[in-house]
Amino acid sequence: MKWAIGCLAGACLISGLHAESASQMPASPPGAAPHWSYDGSKGPSHWAEIDKAFQACESGKSESPVNINTTTKAPPNTPRIQFFYEAMPVHLLNTGHAIQFGAQPSKDSVTLAGRRYQLIQFHFHSPGEERFAGRASPMDMHLVHADADGKLLVVAVQFIVGPRPNPVLGALLQDMPQHAGGETMDKAVMINPSGLLPEPTSGYYTYSGSLTTPPCSEGVTWIELKEPVRISAAQLKAMRRFYYHNQRPIQPLNGREVIEVD
């Protein structure tokens, strides 16, 4: 089933990536991680007030997530993204904002237009962060990659409820760290991220955006896969026990094009 713009919907947690300062607001004390959240006085509308490194969260002009509604068709000869994922042992972190899988340095990567991006981590948002004609999916996954120069590329996968559980997500749920700051490493269980991708890999939408969490750094290439992946209702419920509504509000496109690649 194709992910239709008119029917459903869909960051990145990378420490050490900071947007340029845009004010004289004092920084957090050395060694202290600025605390932010998805609601209240530390929520998205206040992120830029929390730390001077977060100024792009308010002043950025190419922020994510966006509402995908009107798109421009890519030329037929447009280079397509290619996936080269392999199995790796489980390494899960409960960040306090999402459940995150840490990839190991290996051959796990994607290529786009001849450039290779190494998989760093993937994590989950519920509901999905990107919107499609104003609507969000029940859950999404962001696979965060970086090239040799540190330029980021994020692949977003949308999840919908189907009749059968997803085996890879099922395996991850067995090892989920229950509390914020918790970490699980299980070398006995091997996970291939390909099992969380649609099969076959569908067309996608792409645009230039940002991290969807502080520091909201821009210059991130987004790849939004059209085809959703099915998970069971029980799996969605289990994931939402960890985090629900860890979703940044929609950001204006400000003239950016969303390119549709078939």
Catalytic residue numbers? 97
Amino acid letter for position 247: Q
* DSSP character at residue 13: -
- The alpha carbon of 173 is separated from its chain's Cα centroid by a whole number of angstroms, namely 18
User: What letters, b where the CB count within 10 A reaches 16 and e where it falls short, cover 76-91?
Assistant: eeeeebeeebeebebb
Contact predicate 10/140, CB 8 Å: yes
| Beta pairing partners, 67 | 131
Rounded to 5 degrees, φ, ψ at 139 are -160, 150
